[in-house]
């Protein structure tokens, strides 16, 4: 009986856990549609400002612009890592965290210093535990990012790059292809080269840029000059890219959690089915043993 009680206790425990995972799956399913809509609604703005920047750059690319000046020597790199405030989302957090950590360690071996901006409680705790304090951290807003968050990040990197304190800016986040699939994105925000600026349909992921067709851009006349217009557009472009990445990551977070919770629920059902079979076998064996004992006792009484 003790064994039966133990099995029954495990069944109850797994059932309770399954109820939690199923509830979280339903919540993420309900939220992912709105999150995807927000990301998709912001995408035309990102595409428009990217195309506008490409047109202006093709007419008057000027490497003397503070945000376009290449670095002859790389001394300091800034990483922007966008993840989530909560766990239980499979590898959504741990994969980019390890990618950034590995890259920071690789740079340190070359004598290049680095710093980090984290968006999400999980990456903030991950790096703080390892002795890396983010220069900026944003928590409790991963599922509902705001433009203010993007503005603060953009202001920091624009000022740092223009002052020469930052030599390269890398952005790490997850892109939601749809409700099911997510893909890791690693994007260099700064510096931008003339080739990148004149490629309006630049691929989102590590796809080779050679397979992306260059488009013939319309020629414009600018007043003030294209150089000055470019100076206004660059900060707006950076803010827009960061904000879209925050929205995209929020949609990917819900998708990753939904998939992880669905997998956990399915696994819990399999465990419950296996435990139920074991419980029934043990219970049947216990009943058989009790019957044998009763029959044996009755036979002994009859012999007397």
Q: What is the pLDDT of residue 129?
A: 92
- Token pair of 275 as six digits: 């435990």
Cα gap 48→26, rounded to integer Å: 35
Beta-bridged to residue 279, according to DSSP, are: none
Beta strands 136-138 and 76-82, pairing class: unpaired
Judge whether 13 lies within some domain.
Answer: no
Q: Do 141 and 152 meet the contact criterion of CB atoms below 8 Å apart?
A: no
Per-residue pLDDT of the chain (304 residues; tens, 9 = 90+): 458 788 888 888 888 888 888 888 788 777 878 888 888 788 888 878 877 777 776 665 565 677 777 778 889 999 999 998 888 878 888 999 999 999 999 999 999 999 999 999 999 999 999 999 999 999 888 888 888 999 999 999 999 998 889 999 999 999 888 777 788 899 888 887 656 665 555 544 444 333 444 454 456 666 666 667 777 788 888 999 999 999 999 888 888 888 888 888 888 888 888 888 888 887 777 777 666 666 666 566 665 5
Judge whether 2 lies within some domain.
Answer: no
Range of the domain at 47: 27-258
Judge whether 117 lies within some domain.
Answer: yes
CATH code at position 210? 3.40.1380.10
Cα gap 219→54, rounded to integer Å: 11
Judge whether 12 lies within some domain.
Answer: no
Judge whether 178 lies within some domain.
Answer: yes
The domain total for the chain is 1
SS3 135: coil
How far apart, in Å, are the Cα atoms of 62 and each of 59, 65, 168, 192, 250?
A: 10, 6, 18, 11, 35
Q: Do 23 and 29 meet the contact criterion of CB atoms below 8 Å apart?
A: no
Judge whether 66 lies within some domain.
Answer: yes
Cα gap 135→117, rounded to integer Å: 6
Give strand ranges (E) for the chain: 76-82, 113-119, 136-138, 168-176, 182-190
Q: Spell out the SS3 assignment of 207-252.
A: CCHHHCCCCCCCCCCCCCCHHHHHHHHHHHHHHHHHHHHHHHHHHH
b/e code 30-45 from CB counts within 10 Å (16+ = b)? ebbeebbebbeebeee
**Exposed/middle/buried for residue 297 (C-beta within 10 Å: 0-12, 13-18, 19+):** exposed
Judge whether 125 lies within some domain.
Answer: yes
Q: Residues near 4 by Cβ (< 8 Å), separated by ≥ 6?
A: 279, 282, 283, 286
Q: What is the pLDDT of residue 297?
A: 62
Give the gyration radius of the chain's Cα atoms: 28
- Does an H or E element contain 280, and which? helix 226-303
Judge whether 50 lies within some domain.
Answer: yes
């Amino acid at each position: 009986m003790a064994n039966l009680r133990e099995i029954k206790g495990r069944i109850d425990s797994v059932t309770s856990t399954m109820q939690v995972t199923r509830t979280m799956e339903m919540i993420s399913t309900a939220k992912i549609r709105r999150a995807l809509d927000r990301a998709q609604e912001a995408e035309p703005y990102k595409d428009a400002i990217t195309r506008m920047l490409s047109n202006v750059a093709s007419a008057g690319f000027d490497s003397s612009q503070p945000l376009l000046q290449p670095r002859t020597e790389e001394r300091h790199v800034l990483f922007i890592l966008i993840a989530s405030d909560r766990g239980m989302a499979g590898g959504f957090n741990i994969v980019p965290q390890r990618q950034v950590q590995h890259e920071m360690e690789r740079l340190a071996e070359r004598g290049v210093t680095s710093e980090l901006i984290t968006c999400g409680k999980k990456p903030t705790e991950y790096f703080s535990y390892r002795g890396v304090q983010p220069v900026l951290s944003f928590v409790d807003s991963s599922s509902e990012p705001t433009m203010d968050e993007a503005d603060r990040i953009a202001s920091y990197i624009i000022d740092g790059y223009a002052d020469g304190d930052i030599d390269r800016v890398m952005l790490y986040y997850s892109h939601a292809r749809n409700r099911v699939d997510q893909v890791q994105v690693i994007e260099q925000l700064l510096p931008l080269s003339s080739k990148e600026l004149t490629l309006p349909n630049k691929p989102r992921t590590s796809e080779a840029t050679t397979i992306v067709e260059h488009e013939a851009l319309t020629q414009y006349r600018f007043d003030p000059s294209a150089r000055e217009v470019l100076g206004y557009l660059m900060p707006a472009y950076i803010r827009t890219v960061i904000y879209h990445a925050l929205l995209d990551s929020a949609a990917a977070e819900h998708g990753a959690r939904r998939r992880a919770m669905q997998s956990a629920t399915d696994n819990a059902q399999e465990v419950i089915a296996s435990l139920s079979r074991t419980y029934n076998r043990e219970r049947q064996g216990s009943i058989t043993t009790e019957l044998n004992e009763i029959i044996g006792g009755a036979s002994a009484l009859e012999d007397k």
